[in-house]
Amino acid sequence: MRYTKRLGIITAVFIFIFGIMSMNASAQARRVVRVYRSVHVHHYWGYDPFWGSSWNDPYMYDPYLRAQRDKYYKEKAVRDASRKLAKDSAKYQADGVLTAKEQEKLMKKRHDYEKAVANLNKFNREEY
């Protein structure tokens, strides 16, 4: 009789502990945190100083402005090609070894640069 009370208390404690463990496990499994943030999407295609509407484009009808726009684009092509060539050249020569694939890529970049310079020189010769 005296052990029945102890046995009942121990059984109640085990049931209580298992009940708490099962509630915590299920509560942790169902816990979901949702964070809603506003999203700003900005489509950027680049800066064009000569942008205008097609029906009112002064660069289309004025020969001087058209020449200035063409000159700007050809100079920009030379700058971009030069920058790409310098960047790739520095990247490939950083380890001191040029593989055949890297040499081929550098030759292609150099060809693009020379082509851009030739287009600019041709434009400058025709303009004056």
Nearby residues of 23 by Cβ (< 8 Å), 6 or more positions away: none
Identify the CA nearest to 51 among candidates 63, 41, 59, 43. 59
- Give φ, ψ of 12 to 5 degrees: -65, -40
pTM (predicted TM-score): 0.54
> How many angstroms separate the first and last alpha carbons of the chain?
119
Both tokens assigned to 1: 């009789």
* pLDDT for the residue numbered 64: 87
* pLDDT for the residue numbered 56: 64
* pLDDT for the residue numbered 51: 63
- Quote the CA–CA distance of 83 and 89 in Å, as a whole number: 10
List the pLDDT tens digit at each of the 128 positions of the chain: 677 888 888 888 888 887 777 765 555 556 667 777 666 665 656 666 656 555 666 767 788 888 888 999 999 999 999 999 999 999 998 988 889 999 999 999 999 999 999 999 999 998 65
Cβ atoms 98, 91 nearer than 8 A: no
